[in-house]
Amino acid sequence: MPCGATQDGRVMVERSDRMWSTGEGNGKTLQYSCLENPMNSMKRQNDRILKEECPRLLGAQYATGDQWRNNSRKNEGMEPKQKQYPAVDVTGDRSKVRCCKEQYCIGTWNVRSMNQGKLEVVKQEMARVNVNILGIRELKWTGMGEFNSDDHYIYYCRQESLRRNGVAIMVNKRVRNAVLGCNLKNDRMISVRFQGKPLNITVIQAYAPTSNAEEAEVERFYEDLQDLLELTPKKDVLFIIGDWNAKVGSQETPGVTGKFGLGVWNESGQRLIEFCQENALVIANTLFQQHKRRLYTWTSPDGQHRNQIDYILCSQRWRSSIQSAKTRPGADYSSDHELLITKFRLKLKKVGKTTRPFRYDLNQIPYDYTVEVRNRFKGLDLIDRVPDEVWMEVHDIVQETGIQTIPMGKKCEKANWLSGEALQIAVKRREAKSKGEKERYKHLNAEFQRIARRDEKVFLSDQCKEIEEKNRMGKTRDLFKKIRDTKGTFHAKKGLIKDRNGMDLTESEIK
């Protein structure tokens, strides 16, 4: 083993794990000291970490109170309370903790129908309550697809001919760009997948059959829902929201329900609990202690009975990300169901905006454009030129001159025919509901319906006048465009692509 002498005569003996020094040499008393090798200290600390032991931090003796007990102080008989610190996973990924700091809100609502300007009321309530993702059921529309309305985007699925059932998921502009795709299953369930960190998020809106439905219909619903879950990636953070027409009660079921439910469970509730146990799901709105007003989700027509039949299910693994779950009775849509929301902490990936093609306003082409294009065409050399080269030069002249001289066309926004008066009545109706003024609420609801019908009639009358004016002026193109818009034939986009086996592709990355 290597050794050496210091200036004061001490002999240094180096070992592989420690540095020992002896006091032999100058007739001094023999002394031993141990200086720990830093590399070996780090090795032992790593060994403790691998054994899941939390390393003792610098100054921890003061934090825990151990050093206080060893020191002699004036108040020797007094010992501070020993602080308890949570265990720290020093081997985990710290970025996962940082990624879950953003809070989002998911809601579900039974609207009983979506017509006569009610979409505007839903958007207004969605913005007021600050809901980012809203599941809607019982639309009573026909067809399926997706479309945008102002800053909101709607994915919906319903029957082709009958105005029955129908589900949709509406997202605001904060989460719109994080959508990876959707799966339009049937008129009782739909799913939308979002790109998130550290994992992607899948939201399923479901609408279960009522308690009066046949057993075969209920089993078919759960079979379809199970098939939809099989198509969902196992690692995704899963939320299943909707109207289950079931009561799970206030009795706690370990791993599935908390002890803050409402009422007594029934057979439909037991079927829902079994479904959650099979798929490792927890019912979020039974986990938090709330006033009963924040628990019930449905009120009978006579107002005498209130039950909890709407639920938000979440993966048991991500139960800790849920911050709260409750109803918002103040949200009004003239429905017997309350808006149910849950707030959770995760992070959705921000996708950059795609560049849209430049569209010109062809109704405002200035004379400068004609002059500039004519002058640049005169300077073209067309002799002994390859046709492709000439075409590229012509293309560049038209594009560059158009960008410089022609104004950009404005985005054609769909007219909102519901007047401000109707929206104000909707606000008063919500206030009457929150105060429990039933007679005033019924009166305002009837008033809202009357004004909505009047606004629609006035809107159509104005559209007809514009059509007659364009016909008189001979603007054929604008005439037929206005007729198509006024006719109201709506064709929603269908962004789904099927693979060779006829299955819907729900991710943009799949080719």
Lowest mean pLDDT among 28-42, 214-228, 270-284, 386-400: 28-42
What is the fold, at CATH topology level, of the domain defined by 96-348? Deoxyribonuclease I; Chain A (3.60.10)
Provide the pairing of β-strand 103-110 with 133-137.
parallel
Residue 322 in tokens? 């849920």
Per-residue H/E/C for 27-57: CCCCCEEEEECHHHHHHHHHHHHHCCCCCCC
With a cut of 90, say whether residue 54 has pLDDT above it. Answer: no
DSSP one-letter code for 505: E
Cβ distance 471 to 463 under 8 Å? no
Q: Give residue 170's Cα distance to chain centre.
A: 10
DSSP one-letter code for 508: T
Alpha-carbon span 101 to 196, nearest angstrom: 12
Confidence of residue 148 (pLDDT cuts 50, 70, 90): confident
CA distances from residue 29 to 10, 21, 244, 409 in whole angstroms, order as listed: 11, 13, 86, 96
With a cut of 70, say whether residue 413 has pLDDT above it. Answer: no
Alpha-carbon span 126 to 121, nearest angstrom: 8
Residue spans per domain, the chain: 3-70, 96-348, 367-405, 420-497
Whether the model clears a pTM of 0.85, i.e. scores above it, the answer is no
Q: Is 252 exposed, middle or buried (0-12, 13-18, 19+ CB in 10 A)?
A: middle
- Predicted confidence (pLDDT) per residue in 416-469, tens digit: 677 888 888 888 887 887 777 878 888 888 888 888 888 888 888 888 888 888
DSSP one-letter code for 492: -
Tell me the β-bridge partners of 197.
347
Phi and psi at residue 411, to the nearest 5°: -65, 130
